[in-house]
């Protein structure tokens, strides 16, 4: 048998997006490795229901294995799913966060042994060698992360199928930028900014992969042609508050979820609120 279905999930709502007085230090001690906010924990529980129950109700494959970026928020996001399905979480460096080259610090995540101290669903022994691809410690350009994801699939799929020949469906948990780059690479596109075509549910003009928190993408393999098509794009119908903190390379100049990104969103929201107030005042006259 071969790998036939891949789900790719972005982590839940991060605690560093909360007001400063509600933020907490990274449990791992690693820079830019925050835990989920309480709302993100709720999203993770809703995700678990979707992946463990709703997929089967839709007659869709249920994940048989879980791979996650080693950053805390990703493992925390998929932990309830692992518990619900009775699966282990296998850390994988190739699914790690995108950090730009101009960053002062490019964080390196902790290993499986440290993660096991927080989550019993992460095995204490590394059964899966997590260095399929290791992101550059000097940071990556947009082109570099896409190349990383192309290399990831070229190495991961044969490595996985050799080690787990009986598994047909997996879920990968990652970050907004990596989720998009992974999907575009898997579906055979040439960059992160191309529009999705009809074969992947797009129109070739406006449709891109969504990047909101806890959103789920899904890809199905055409075994005869050894190609992959998207059949689920940024699914969030299972989340009580719907899509939040959407992000894409083409619409943001900042790293997804970074301090600069959050501040930029706040400015836009404030400007929109001010514009609405001006409009309301004008309508009175």
Q: What is the pLDDT of residue 284?
A: 61
- Secondary structure class of 141 (helix, strand, coil): coil
For the beta carbon of residue 209, count every other beta carbon within 10 angstroms.
27
- How high is the pLDDT of residue 108? 96
Q: What is the mean pLDDT of each run of 10 residues along the chain (285 residues)?
A: 94 94 95 96 98 98 98 98 98 97 93 96 92 96 98 98 97 98 98 97 97 98 94 98 95 74 67 56 61
| Three-state DSSP class for residue 30 | coil
Q: Collapsing DSSP states into helix, strand and coil, what is residue 152?
A: helix
CB contact set of 247 (below 8 Å; sequence gap of 6+):
176, 177, 211, 212, 256, 257, 261
- The pLDDT, as a whole number, for residue 285 is 55
How far apart CA 41 and CA 229 sit, in angstroms, is 30
Domains of the chain (ranges; CATH) run 5-251 (3.40.50.1240)
Q: Is 101 exposed, middle or buried (0-12, 13-18, 19+ CB in 10 A)?
A: exposed
pLDDT at 281: 59
Residue 262, pLDDT score: 73
Please state the pTM of the whole predicted model: 0.92
> What are residue 11's phi and psi, to 5 degrees?
-60, 170
């Amino acid at each position: 048998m071969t790998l036939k279905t891949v789900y790719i999930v972005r982590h839940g709502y991060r605690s560093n997006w909360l007001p400063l007085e509600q933020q907490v230090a990274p449990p791992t001690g690693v820079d830019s490795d925050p835990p989920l906010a309480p709302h993100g924990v709720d999203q993770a529980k809703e995700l678990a229901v979707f992946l463990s129950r709703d997929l089967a109700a839709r007659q869709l494959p249920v994940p048989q294995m879980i791979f996650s970026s080693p950053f805390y928020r990703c493992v925390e996001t998929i932990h309830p799913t692992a518990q619900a399905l009775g699966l282990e979480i296998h850390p994988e460096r190739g699914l790690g966060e995108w950090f730009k080259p101009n960053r002062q610090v490019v964080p390196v995540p902790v290993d499986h042994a440290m993660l096991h101290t927080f989550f019993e669903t992460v095995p204490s022994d590394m059964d899966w060698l997590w260095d399929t691809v290791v992101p550059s410690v000097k940071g990556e350009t947009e082109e570099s992360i896409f190349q990383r994801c192309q290399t990831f699939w070229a190495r991961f799929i044969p490595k996985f199928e050799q080690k787990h020949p009986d598994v047909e469906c997996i879920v990968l948990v990652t970050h907004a930028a990596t989720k998009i780059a992974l999907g575009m690479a898997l579906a055979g596109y040439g960059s992160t900014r191309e529009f999705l075509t009809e074969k992947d549910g797009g129109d070739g003009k406006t449709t891109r992969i969504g990047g909101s928190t806890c959103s789920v993408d899904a890809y199905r393999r055409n075994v005869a042609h050894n190609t992959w098509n998207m059949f689920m794009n940024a699914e969030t119908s299972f989340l009580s508050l719907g899509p939040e903190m959407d992000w894409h390379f083409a619409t943001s100049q900042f790293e997804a979820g970074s301090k600069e990104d959050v501040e930029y969103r706040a400015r836009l929201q404030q400007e929109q609120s001010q514009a609405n107030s001006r409009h309301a005042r004008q309508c009175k006259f």
